[in-house]
Amino acid sequence: MKLEAKPFLKALENRRIKRHGELRVYHGRIAGVDVNVACCGVGMRRAAANIQSLIDSVGPSQIVMSGTAGGIDAKLKIGDTVVSDELIYHEIVGDLPIQDGLSMDGLPFKADAALLECASKAIKEKPPEHSVYFGRISTGKSFVRGEAFDYIISKCNPLCTDMESAAVAHVCQINSVPFIAVRSMSDTREVSGLSNFFKYASLASKNSFIVVRALLAALPEQQDSAASS
């Protein structure tokens, strides 16, 4: 969403814009790294299509997904961040049922080990003011509420859930592009619903950006990235 991309666009140095079909890509630098910032859109299918377009048109060396998420684990509070170590679908994708936290190929999608290492190093060296956790992120086609929390926990027990990350990880795996997701909580089981999402989305987006910026700063020199919100 544009709301989730706002902190990146504000921080983007030497910004220039280029269209690739329907995708608007902002080129520039953040934390000394050449980046391309694009909004993948809401939902698994749209995100997957736009990420494929980004890969085809820009050819990023890695993709970092940033934005908001709904907290599933009870320890997560509004504004906390989850960095993915693995990503999965938590419901039916196409005609294939997803069971016990498995993706369509029977395994979770793993985040890139080098990006994970950079994120871990960045958080340890300069911890942000909010809490950051590393763990599983699950993806589904709708906003989570009510009994859906228990269903998701029983199927895959993620730290948090969203509507795009696993689909983007899936596309990145197919294209052999290193990927990691960074998501901050705009809502939780205790503070749930769309009204709370819109209330806290700006805070969550800012906190997610803070972690991604630290990750970018920890990357080896001369690496290019694409940040997607």
Amino acid at 84: S
Residue 108: what pLDDT? 85
Q: How confident is the model at residue 206 (pLDDT cuts 50, 70, 90)?
A: very high
Q: Are 227 and 35 in contact (CB under 8 A)?
A: yes
d(CA 179, CA 61): 9
pTM for this one? 0.86
Q: What's the pLDDT tens digit per position in 76-112?
A: 999 999 999 999 988 654 444 444 444 445 568 999 9
Helix (H) or strand (E) holding 120: helix 113-125
DSSP state letter for 108: P
Q: What's the pLDDT tens digit per position in 210-229?
A: 999 999 999 987 455 666 66
Residue 120: what pLDDT? 96
Over residues 20-34, mean pLDDT? 91
d(CA 215, CA 217): 5
d(CA 102, CA 108): 6
CA 227 to chain CA centroid, Å, is 9
What tokens does 115 get? 């990006």
Q: What's the pLDDT tens digit per position in 132-185?
A: 999 999 998 777 666 677 778 877 889 999 999 999 999 999 999 999 999 999
What tokens does 94 get? 């196409």
- Please give the mean pLDDT across all residues of the chain: 87
What tokens does 61 get? 């060396």
Residue 94: what pLDDT? 46
Q: What percent of the chain has pLDDT over 70?
A: 86
> Which residues in 202-218 are b (16+ Cβ under 10 Å) and which e?
ebbbbbbbbbbbbbbbb
Domains of the chain: 64-218 (3.40.50.1580)
What tokens does 45 get? 């299918």
Q: What's the pLDDT tens digit per position in 184-197?
A: 999 988 888 788 88
- Residues with Cβ < 8 Å from 216, sequence gap 6 or more? 30, 31, 32, 33, 35, 64, 225, 227
